[in-house]
Amino acid sequence: MSESNINRDEAYYLAQHAIEYAEKKGVRDAEVFFSDNKKLEVTCSGKEIVNEKEVQELGFGIRVLQDSVEGFSYTNKADKKAIEQTVEQAIVMLKVKPKKEGIALAPPSSYSTIEGLFSKRLSSFTVEELIDGAKQILLPFEEAPISVRTDLSRIILSEEYVGIVNSLGVEGNYIRNSLDSSFLAIAREGEKVGSFVLDSFSVKDQKEVDFYKFGKELVERAIRNVNVEKLKSIDSDIVVFKPDAVLSPLFIVMAMAISAERTQHNQSLWKDSIGEKVAIDDFSFIDNSLDGKSSTARPFDDEGTPVKELEIIKEGVLMTHLFDIKTANKANTQSTGNSYRGFINSSFMNPPNNIFPNVPVIKPGDIKYDEMIEDIKEGIIFEYFAGSQRSENGIFSGVAKGAQLIKNGEITTPLTNVTIAGNVFDVLKNILSLSKETKKVSGYLETPYIKTKGINISSQN
């Protein structure tokens, strides 16, 4: 990857200058969050590479607090004049923004060293090597006996340097990188068009993935889905959620339900459920924040609070909600280190405004995936959910993409026009089994396959 346009010492100097300048302007509490994000991205469509680009985004987000009011502004210019102007803009915002109960800056803390957060080997990966990896993935598309194409697919090598400084003495930084890919495949044979299949990976070393094998397995799955049939009827409520389907709707609703922001605004059914059973005994959900193998691990959150490993649901019992500083102060507790400036991403362009798990893991079960399927008389298994989910009550409804019929313990017919509906909070209590095998979805959620009952399965009109 190319070198940054600004070295880290200079970034710290500008951040400290912003704090001092805010104090000269009469603001006691100030914070600077800065990041330098670099990405190499190769995009594929059809059977070829259609675009390659290198993007670098450097910037400073400046937050000032006064009398429970937050002013915020940002700049992507790394010079003293721009920093001073951004401080002044943030101060102006203090006059027009409403008060926020509990808002405060993070106090000084020590941060854990996370092994594996940054890979020197991956850092030396070039755009030419990235292109070669994409070509290896696409090669099985060319070799396929029938037409198979991809769409909206990409490989991304990302490197992120993040720092935070505030007027209370907080000073922290980290650098992390990862190689991530998301590929979709659709097969066609004559007039028959199969349902799409998708797969992804997130690694810290390019040698951890066999690009050709990844593409070959994706193509084989797409070909198996060519002879799709429309679901006519089914006398079953049993569904197997593949890992990508667990991400949405199941995980998304859970993540919203444990956010203290939502519990404090009566937008979560779990607002008064700490210590209560919310899932089956075999279901455990943790935030494995210090796992450096994950692309979302970090030593501190976007407010500068140290992260920590958390048991969120232990053997079916809800153990904790997730807090940022504001919600923790309102609840007279401590932040759990789960503040974000974007949706599962850090961004200097926003103040802290979200609460999410850092490295979410749904623990595996004690049954193999094949054995999970064997005892299903009739049901469906699907790849991906496209529809709506309501975090406040758990209700979801939509299309089960990449669905296949399970009949007498075997995955048989690829299906189209399958709709499913249910309630996430009921699903957690109706889980029949969790697989031993797990997968990391979108470089974020690690989850097993989940078999459950109580789902309304029907055919889309």
**DSSP label at 367?**
B
Alpha helices in 186-337 (DSSP H): 211-224, 243-245, 252-257, 260-263, 325-330
Using 50, 70 and 90 to split pLDDT, how confident is the model at 221?
A: very high
At 375 the pLDDT is 93
Q: What is the pLDDT of residue 370?
A: 96
Region 265-270 average pLDDT: 96
**Would you put residue 224 in left (φ > 0), alpha (ψ -120 to 50) or beta?**
alpha
| Number of residues in the chain | 461
Q: Which amino acid is at 95?
A: K
Mean pLDDT over 262-278 rounds to 97
Distances (CA, A) of 363 to 1, 55, 199, 282: 35, 36, 21, 9
Residue 398's DSSP bridge partners are 387, 420
Model pLDDT, residue 132: 97
Query: For residue 299, what pLDDT is reported?
Result: 97
Alpha-carbon gap, residue 289 to 301, rounded angstroms: 10
What does the block give as tokens for 334?
A: 């401590």
Looking at residue 6, its pLDDT comes to: 60
Q: Is the pLDDT assigned to residue 265 strictly greater than 80?
A: yes
- CB neighbour burial string for 418-452, b if at least 16 within 10 angstroms, e if fewer: bbbebbbbebbebbbbbbeebbbbbbbbbbbbbbb
The token pair at 251 is 């995980």
Summarised one tens digit per residue, pLDDT across range 58-117 is 999 999 999 999 999 999 999 999 999 999 999 999 999 999 999 999 999 999 999 999
pLDDT of 326: 98
d(CA 169, CA 445): 33
* Band (202; pLDDT cuts 50, 70, 90): very high
How far is residue 417 from each of residues 114, 128, 226, measured CA to CA in Å? 45, 41, 14
Rounded to the nearest integer, the mean pLDDT of the chain is 94
Q: pLDDT at position 344, please?
A: 67
Structure tokens at 332: 């007279």
Place of tokens 């429970």: 68
- For residue 194, is pLDDT > 90? no
The most confident of 119-123, 126-130, 210-214, 398-402, by mean pLDDT: 210-214
Amino acid at 375: D
pLDDT value of residue 9? 83
pLDDT value of residue 442: 87
- Whether pLDDT at 233 is above 60: yes
- Judged by average pLDDT, the poorest of 12-21, 156-165, 189-198 is 189-198
Name 178's bridge partners.
158
Q: Which of 329, 327, 328, 324 is nearest to 341 (CA)?
A: 324
Mean pLDDT value of segment 398-403: 93
The 10s digit of each residue's pLDDT in 293-321 is 999 999 999 999 999 999 999 999 999 99
Measured between alpha carbons, how far is 342 from 348 in angstroms, rounded to an integer?
9
**Residue percentage of the chain with pLDDT more than 90:** 87
Contact 418, 459 (CB under 8 A): yes
Separation of alpha carbons 358 and 114, rounded Å: 13
Q: Please tell me what DSSP assigns to residue 1.
A: -
Rg value, the chain, Cα: 24
315-362 pLDDT tens trace: 999 999 999 999 999 999 999 999 999 876 778 999 999 999 999 999
Which residues, listed in sequence order, are joined to residue 74 by a DSSP beta bridge? 61
In this prediction, residue 431 carries a pLDDT of 98
Q: How far is CA 322 from CA 254, 291, 309, 388, in A?
A: 11, 18, 12, 24
pLDDT of residue 461: 63
pLDDT of res. 346: 72
pLDDT at 195: 79
Q: What is the pLDDT of residue 5?
A: 53
Q: Report all structural domains of the chain as residue ranges with CATH numbers, in order of start.
A: 8-221 (3.30.2290.10), 228-461 (no CATH)
